[in-house]
Amino acid sequence: MDINELIGQREEKLALLRKEGFSGYDKAPEGEGRISISSSLSSPEGGRVSLCGRITAKRSHGKVSFMDLKDVTGRIQLYLRADAFAGKDLVLLGQIDIGDILGVSGDIFKTHTGEITVKVEKLTLLSKALRPLPEKWHGLKDVEIRYRQRYLDLLSNEEVRDIFVTRARVIGSVRSFLNSRGFLEVETPMMHSIPGGAAGRPFKTHHNEYDMPLYLRIAPELYLKRLLVGGFEKVYEINRSFRNEGVSTRHNPEFTMLEVYAAYEDYSSMMRLCEEMICGLVKELHGGSKFTFQGKEIDVAAPWKRISFAETVKDKFGILPSDSAEEMLSKLHAGGVAKGATRLSRSQITKIIEDLLEEGMTQNPTFVTDYFTSMCPLARTKADNPLLSERFELFISGMETGNAYSELNDPQEQEARFREETAESVSEDEKSVDEDYVTALGHGMPPAGGLGIGIDRLVMLLTDKPSIRDVILFPLLRPEKAAGETPE
């Protein structure tokens, strides 16, 4: 039957119910000791229960109807006899469809097959579903529809709900881990007057009252380090950040990051913190140090492997930390990489190189160290080689998952690096120096270690999902094509 016909039938049923005095969208029954369906399954026979949920199946045998009622905790069978209802309640019974949300009360009993069932004595229609659920409750197969109509995906696929339950567990565990180690959770602004704290193209907006341009944050780093200046010694934020860039299986314009800062620590401390936190998460979710991602086993047992970025790019391309951006790009061209590119900043070149390095990474966690100082404007330099920074990036299964520094706290050097970076920048949005941050450093920021971890990518790994869209409830999608348009 055509979808419009089905909707029309349900609308007619709602109209009929309204003539009988039902709204079709009543409140849940109050004061009747409502419990979850999972709890009702352990109720004794003869015990009275009050439940709410969605009808997921319906079977009629003459004057007897069986329905399946489902909530987030489980499913239970309902037994409804027509002769137990009278008047308008009997009319209501005849207009129930799969997908409707009901409140029911009655006594628990077992059928001759042993199935726990509720003998319904009272029925309330809490929400009339005017559109049918995905066909036969077998779930959605079309990936595009699953992302666009996540509510149907969640209704249809228990596995999908489990992913987001796991995501919540991951974030909860991260909070518990950091709180137990004396870190304070904070919130910093999401609208910035100057985009900073990371390399990325920002989203622009405008504040009408102040008549000023603003940017959605690309990272909270500079505000979090202002808090170290202010006297907090251990802070973290699980934050939403935004980058107006490409979309892929690993990139969504809106994403969730964990950023952690600890005074009197350094990037080596952040390595240990990172290992401890992720090892604990894997043990909690998978019972040990190993799990599978896309058919390959990953073992997070510490210590994790370390490789040098400087040595790797020297061996692959002959690139040296003293090279200018033009020299780096020329050497990449000679190696057959980025041939169409002309003018790029060091940070853009770094991204190209990192994408190449990802392809050769092992499955197990790997720290990539020894990044060029010219590519790390916010990181402290190595004491024995100022051309290299105290920075690492974490790769798991070839996917960049984390980034950390020993934080630069010299205000004069920081200002000089900002000015060098803005001079090289191609984008006008990246040509402003955050003078207030430099001023803050001038008041003295303790030496510190900082760590950022991509929560979405971490959840991808821990739930064995190949796309970031699988672990974000409502990922950003291209607008749907209008009827008659040719798809790209």
Residues 319 and 183 in one domain: yes
Domain final residue, candidates 100, 133, 166 = 133
pLDDT at 485: 47
Quick check: 260 pLDDT over 80? yes
Count of structural domains, the chain:
2
Closest CA to 256 of 50, 451, 462, 452: 452
pLDDT at 136: 46
Residues whose CB is less than 8 angstroms from the CB of residue 164 and which lie 6 or more positions away in sequence, other chains included: 154, 471, 473
Quick check: 80 pLDDT over 50? yes
Residue 411's pLDDT band (cuts 50, 70, 90): very high
pLDDT at 140: 58
Q: What is the mean pLDDT of residues 377-394?
A: 95
Residues 119 and 182 in one domain: no
Residues 420 and 275 in one domain: yes
pLDDT at 431: 57
Residue 424's pLDDT band (cuts 50, 70, 90): low
Token pair belonging to 130: 């005017």
Quick check: 487 pLDDT over 60? no
| Distance between CA atoms of residues 428 and 201, nearest Å | 10
Token pair belonging to 137: 């409750």
Residues 14 and 98 in one domain: yes
In a domain, 139, yes or no: no
Closest CA to 256 of 236, 279, 230: 236
In a domain, 425, yes or no: yes
Domain limits at 208? 155-470
Mean pLDDT over the full length of the chain:
90
Domain of 66, CATH number, reads 2.40.50.140
In a domain, 476, yes or no: no
pLDDT at 138: 47
Residue 194's pLDDT band (cuts 50, 70, 90): confident
* pLDDT, tens digit, 9 for 90 and up, residues 36-58: 999 999 899 999 999 999 999 99
- pTM summary value: 0.89
Domain of 194, CATH number, reads 3.30.930.10
Establish whether the linkage from the previous residue to 475 is cis, with ω within 30° of 0.
Answer: no
In a domain, 488, yes or no: no
